[in-house]
């Protein structure tokens, strides 16, 4: 009897999610670029970063950016590899490298953001 094949395991989730993350990343990326280059200082000095990171909204935004960007990027790289006939040991090797690299750098980025101290006083002034 004919067995109905559903879409599970066919990669359709990653296909949809690649588009959704892509659309979110477009918005964040343009904003990020304008913000980081609005003045020569805004993206290139510690104090500017420190001031931004007093807001948890910025922290959450940057964390989202890292996680979504890394997922979208590495899923894209995997998509390129998947265009070629791979032997199963090659598949396992490539996926392992991508996941390990991705996790390591994502955690590194998250740590960098979370390590930035909160220095704001109740009056809203930065303590230097």
Partner 1 sequence: MSEFKKFDQKNWVKTNLSYRKDSGSWAWILHRITGIALITYLFMHIYSLSPLSQGREAFNNFMKTYSTPFFMVMEWFLFAFVLFHSLNGVRIVLVDWADGARYHKALYRYSIVIGVLMFLAMGYVMFSHEIHKLFS
- 57/84 with CB nearer partner 1: 84
In whole angstroms, the minimum distance from the beta carbon of 107 to partner 1 comes to 10
Taking CB under 8 A as the criterion, the residue among 61, 63, 67, 70 binding partner 1 is 70
> Is the distance from CB of 34 to CB of 77 less than 8 angstroms?
no
Look at residues 68, 76, 82 and name the one whose alpha carbon lies nearest to residue 23.
68
Three-state DSSP state, 44 = coil
Asked if 49 interacts with partner 1 (CB under 8 A), we say: yes
Asked if 68 interacts with partner 1 (CB under 8 A), we say: no
In whole angstroms, the minimum distance from the beta carbon of 50 to partner 1 comes to 8
Taking CB under 8 A as the criterion, the residue among 13, 38, 81, 118 binding partner 1 is 38
Look at residues 35, 111, 98 and name the one whose alpha carbon lies nearest to residue 70.
98
> Is the distance from CB of 71 to CB of 88 less than 8 angstroms?
no
| CA R_g for the chain | 20
Asked if 39 interacts with partner 1 (CB under 8 A), we say: yes
> Is the distance from CB of 52 to CB of 32 less than 8 angstroms?
no
Asked if 108 interacts with partner 1 (CB under 8 A), we say: yes
Q: Can you say whether the dihedral through the CA atoms of 32, 104, 107, 127 is positive or negative?
A: negative
Give the binding site for partner 1 (CB under 8 A): 19, 22-23, 25-26, 29-30, 33-34, 37-40, 44-47, 49-50, 66, 69-70, 73-74, 76-77, 80, 101, 105, 108-109, 111-113, 115-116
């Amino acid at each position: 009897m004919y067995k109905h094949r559903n879409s599970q395991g066919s990669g359709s989730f990653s296909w949809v999610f690649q588009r959704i993350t892509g659309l979110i990343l477009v918005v964040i990326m343009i904003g990020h670029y304008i913000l980081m280059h609005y003045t020569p200082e805004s993206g290139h000095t510690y104090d500017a970063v420190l001031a931004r990171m007093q807001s948890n909204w910025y922290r959450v935004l940057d964390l989202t950016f890292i996680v979504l960007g890394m997922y979208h990027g590495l899923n894209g790289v995997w998509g390129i590899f998947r265009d070629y006939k791979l032997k199963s040991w090659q598949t396992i090797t490539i996926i392992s490298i991508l996941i390990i690299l991705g996790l390591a750098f994502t955690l590194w980025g998250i740590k960098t953001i979370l390590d930035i101290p909160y220095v704001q006083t109740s009056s809203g002034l930065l303590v230097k």
